Amino acid sequence: MFTDIVVYTALMGKDSAKAMELVRLSKAILNLKHYLKLEERILP
């Protein structure tokens, strides 16, 4: 997962809870995209 390190670091300094929530959401979106791609291969 590629993350904008500069923005992430700045956000961690201001609000670490919000930064971690954004990381969690980013991972969830990537997982969903991966799942949908797998589903395309399984379903005709």
Q: Where are the domains of the chain?
A: 5-42
> How many C-beta atoms surround the C-beta of residue 20 within 10 A?
13
pLDDT, tens digit (0-9, with 9 covering 90-100), for 1-44 = 456 778 888 888 999 999 899 889 988 988 888 888 777 776 55
- pTM for the full predicted model: 0.61
